[in-house]
């Protein structure tokens, strides 16, 4: 269990838009955790919890910012979204979520998605069970960096 | 410090949590006329339909009061507030003293004076108790048909819940279209078609004039135009108004709702108010008015709680917004959705009647002031922040409706401002 506050830093100046972060995030959140199976053998396919924006030569990956003052937390009518006291991360309990989409309405980054199968939200969980989030680990150009500070 | 909170919904809960962040020791007493533990009112339609279980109604852990050292006085109604002597009085005469008071009593359903509205089978639909009462009727009476008076958010959610139970629904709406305060005409028409596909009948420019008795029960409704609809149930879903009875004659300033400053303080420095009971600043309409929505209540409650415990946080204001899924069609509305003609508003829209999907953005002087998303709600929150931060969109207005639109189009400085947190760069 991570007891430190984890943040993923985005550096758009060096992002190449290769989307490896998306690929590895999807695999991480798939059932099989195997890259080929996750893409070709799981229906519905898992969703990446990160997105890549592109505009001409500009590109950057974006995932939940785990805001200090998180609008999604104030908007959640079921208590499904909560702040993990150990890591400061905003996590969600899919059993509680009813798919009212209030969080989608208020997230300024547009990084909370509707789940692919059930009516649940899908958002970055900071890979708390990994030493480094998979998007960061697999970024070839340090466009995503993980920083940790003690809570 | 002796804190007293009237109310037990999200504004009250957020206030408790905010007080406890600053003050672990002070006494917190919370009084509510509802007997239930902290539960989510917006979930009552899901509960009625059987889509959430009783345990899922509670959005905070079972030990919420204990963990936050809250003395909860539930199932008791506050009848008056004595601001000068800093006490509140309950209907049974019991008195509670306070040093800081929060009034978070929410809204109460509007029920127009209608002949027969006291019959068994006439309901409102805002609280858990309303679901219990409806279920009790369904146990003893075969309800084939129900009339819902009011075609707004509450009416549509009630219609959805009751349709799931196999009851034939007629929605009767006074204006010329349903959801008229939330949506524009295009969306209202879309939602009407979606409801009709599910077997819901929608009647507009009409209302219930009289509820006809069948013994002590409901037997039917006579509409304003004379039409008679036989039914066994009537639900009034016209709207809610601030629940302010207990502050009458207290000296607390009330307009449409309790008047508060940016610290959520009333005209008495030790009395705060938050949630559906207040009229707070509307950033789009630039006026104080009640905006009865969950996120506002939560944020206002947190601001009030923080300040009651000695803080100086400001509530910056908000605007109307809602996310509601009707018959599996998700919709999000925000700000001004149906601007008046000839006042300089610019409208961008994209409608696909087949899917059906609809996106509409309303701008004034290149600043987004409202938006509608139907069945295509991805990343809608980006528009919430464009409205809130009054961002000049002139450099990227032509891509606002495009699928690829996102933060990449924002001016770099604004993007940085959004994404920057401690140690965060973009």
pLDDT digits (tens, 9 = 90+) for B386-410: 999 999 999 999 999 999 999 999 9
pLDDT higher than threshold 90 for residue B74: yes
Measure CA of the first residue to CA of the last residue in chain B; give whole Å: 44
Average pLDDT of the residues in B223-239: 97
pLDDT higher than threshold 80 for residue A2: no
Q: Which residues pair with B265 in a beta bridge?
A: B272
Q: Which CATH superfamily is domain B2-38+56-107+243-308 in?
A: FAD/NAD(P)-binding domain (3.50.50.60)
- Which chain A residue has the Cα nearest residue B423? A9
Chain A residue numbers with beta carbons less than 8 Å from the beta carbon of B322 are 105
Question: For B326-384, what is each residue's pLDDT tens digit?
Answer: 888 999 999 999 999 999 999 999 999 999 999 999 999 999 999 999 999 999 999 99
CATH of the domain at A75: 3.30.70.20
| Mean of pLDDT over chain A | 91
Of A55, A59, A110, the CB nearest to B379: A110
CB B118 within 8 A of CB B276: no
Chain B, residues 297-356, CB within 8 A of chain A, namely 298-299, 302, 321-325, 330, 332, 334
Q: What is the pLDDT of residue A116?
A: 65
Chain A, residues 46-75, CB within 8 A of chain B, namely 51, 53-55, 58-60, 62, 65, 67-68, 71, 74-75
Is CATH 2.40.50.70 what the domain over B122-238 is classified as, yes or no?
A: no
> Which of helix, strand or coil describes residue B305?
helix
- Output DSSP code: residue B54: G
Q: What is the pLDDT of residue B332?
A: 98
In a domain, A150, yes or no: no
The interface predicted TM-score (ipTM) is 0.94
Q: Percent of chain B, pLDDT > 70?
A: 98
pLDDT higher than threshold 70 for residue B18: yes
**Sign of the torsion angle spanned by Cα atoms B139, B141, B143, B147:** negative
In a domain, A151, yes or no: no
How does strand B2-6 pair with strand B100-103? parallel
CB B187 within 8 A of CB B197: no
Can you give the pTM of this predicted structure?
Answer: 0.94
pLDDT higher than threshold 70 for residue A129: yes
Question: For B292-339, what is each residue's pLDDT tens digit?
Answer: 999 999 999 999 999 999 999 999 999 999 999 988 899 999 999 999
CB B381 within 8 A of CB B407: no
Is the CB of A137 inside 8 Å of chain B's CB atoms? no
What is the Cα gyration radius of chain B?
23
Is the CB of A101 inside 8 Å of chain B's CB atoms? yes
Q: Which fold is adopted by the domain B328-419?
A: Enolase-like; domain 1 (3.30.390)
Q: Which residue has the tokens 């965060």?
A: B424
Domain count, chain A: 1
Hey, which bits of B104-165 come out as E strands? 107-109, 122-124, 145-149
Topology agreement, domain B2-38+56-107+243-308 and domain B122-238: yes
Q: How far is B209 from chain A (nearest CA, A)?
A: 34
| Mean of pLDDT over chain B | 95
Question: Six-digit token pair at B39?
Answer: 């539960």
Question: For B114-153, what is each residue's pLDDT tens digit?
Answer: 999 999 999 999 999 999 999 999 998 999 999 999 999 9
Average pLDDT of the residues in B238-256: 95
Residue ranges per domain, chain B? 2-38+56-107+243-308, 122-238, 328-419
pLDDT higher than threshold 70 for residue A35: yes
Q: What is the pLDDT of residue A44?
A: 85
Q: How far is A42 from chain B (nearest CA, A)?
A: 23
**Sign of the torsion angle spanned by Cα atoms B287, B292, B293, B298:** positive
pLDDT higher than threshold 50 for residue B16: yes
CA distance B57 to B77: 22
CB B195 within 8 A of CB B226: no
What domain range is A129 assigned to? Answer: 4-145
- Determine whether the interchain pair B382/A110 forms a contact, defined as Cβ–Cβ distance below 8 Å: yes
In a domain, A109, yes or no: yes
């Amino acid at each position: 269990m991570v007891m430190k506050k984890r943040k993923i830093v985005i550096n758009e100046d060096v992002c190449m838009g290769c989307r490896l972060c998306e690929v590895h995030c999807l695999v991480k959140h798939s059932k099989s955790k195997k890259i080929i199976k996750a893409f070709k053998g799981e229906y519905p396919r898992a969703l990446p919890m990160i997105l890549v924006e592109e505009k001409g030569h500009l590109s950057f990956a974006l995932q939940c910012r785990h805001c200090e003052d998180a609008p999604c937390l104030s908007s959640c009518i079921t208590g499904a979204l909560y702040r993990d006291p150990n890591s400061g991360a905003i996590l969600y309990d899919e059993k509680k979520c009813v798919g009212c989409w209030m969080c989608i309405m208020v997230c300024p980054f547009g990084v909370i998605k509707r789940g692919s199968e059930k009516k649940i939200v899908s958002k970055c969980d900071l890979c708390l069970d990994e030493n480094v989030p998979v998007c960061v680990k697999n970024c070839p150009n340090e466009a995503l960096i993980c920083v940790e500070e003690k809570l | 410090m002796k804190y007293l909170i009237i109310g037990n919904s999200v504004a009250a809960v957020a206030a408790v949590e905010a007080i406890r962040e600053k003050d672990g020791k002070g006494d917190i007493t919370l009084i509510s006329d509802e007997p239930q533990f902290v539960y989510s009112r917006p979930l009552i339609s899901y509960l009625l339909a059987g889509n959430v279980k009783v345990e899922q109604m509670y959005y905070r852990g079972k030990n919420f009061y204990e963990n936050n050292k809250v003395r909860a006085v539930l199932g008791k109604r506050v009848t008056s507030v004595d601001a000068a002597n800093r006490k509140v009085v309950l209907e049974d005469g019991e008195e509670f003293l306070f040093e800081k008071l929060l009034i978070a009593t929410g809204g109460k359903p509007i029920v127009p004076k209608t002949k027969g509205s006291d019959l068994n089978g006439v309901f409102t639909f805002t609280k858990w108790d309303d679901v219990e009462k409806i279920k009790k009727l369904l146990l003893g009476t075969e309800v084939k048909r129900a009339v819902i008076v009011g075609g707004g958010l509450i009416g549509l959610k009630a219609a959805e819940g009751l349709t799931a139970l196999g009851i034939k629904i007629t929605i009767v709406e006074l204006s010329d279209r349903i959801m008229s305060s939330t949506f524009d005409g295009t969306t209202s028409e879309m939602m009407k078609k979606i409801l009709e596909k599910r077997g819901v009948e929608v009647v507009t420019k009409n209302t219930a004039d009289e509820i006809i008795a069948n013994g002590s029960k409901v037997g039917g409704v006579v509409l304003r135009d004379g039409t008679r609809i036989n039914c066994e149930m009537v639900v009034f879903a016209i709207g809610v108004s601030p629940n302010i009875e207990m502050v009458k004659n207290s000296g607390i300033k009330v307009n449409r709702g309790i008047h508060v400053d940016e610290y959520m303080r009333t005209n008495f420095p030790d009395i705060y108010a938050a949630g559906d009971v207040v009229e707070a600043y509307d950033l789009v309409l630039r006026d104080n008015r009640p905006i009865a929505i969950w996120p506002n209540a939560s944020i206002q409650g947190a601001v009030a709680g923080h300040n009651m415990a000695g803080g100086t946080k400001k509530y910056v204001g908000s605007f109307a917004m809602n996310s509601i899924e009707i018959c599996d069609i998700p919709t999000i509305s925000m700000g001004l959705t149906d601007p008046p003609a000839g006042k300089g508003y610019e409208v961008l829209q994209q409608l696909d009647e087949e899917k059906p999907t609809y996106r509409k953005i309303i701008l004034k002087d290149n600043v987004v002031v409202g938006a509608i998303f139907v069945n295509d709600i991805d990343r809608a929150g980006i528009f919430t922040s464009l409205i809130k931060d009054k961002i000049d969109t002139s450099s990227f207005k032509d891509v606002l409706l495009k699928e690829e639109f996102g933060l990449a189009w924002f001016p770099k400085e604004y993007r940085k401002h959004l994404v920057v947190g401690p140690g965060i760069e973009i």
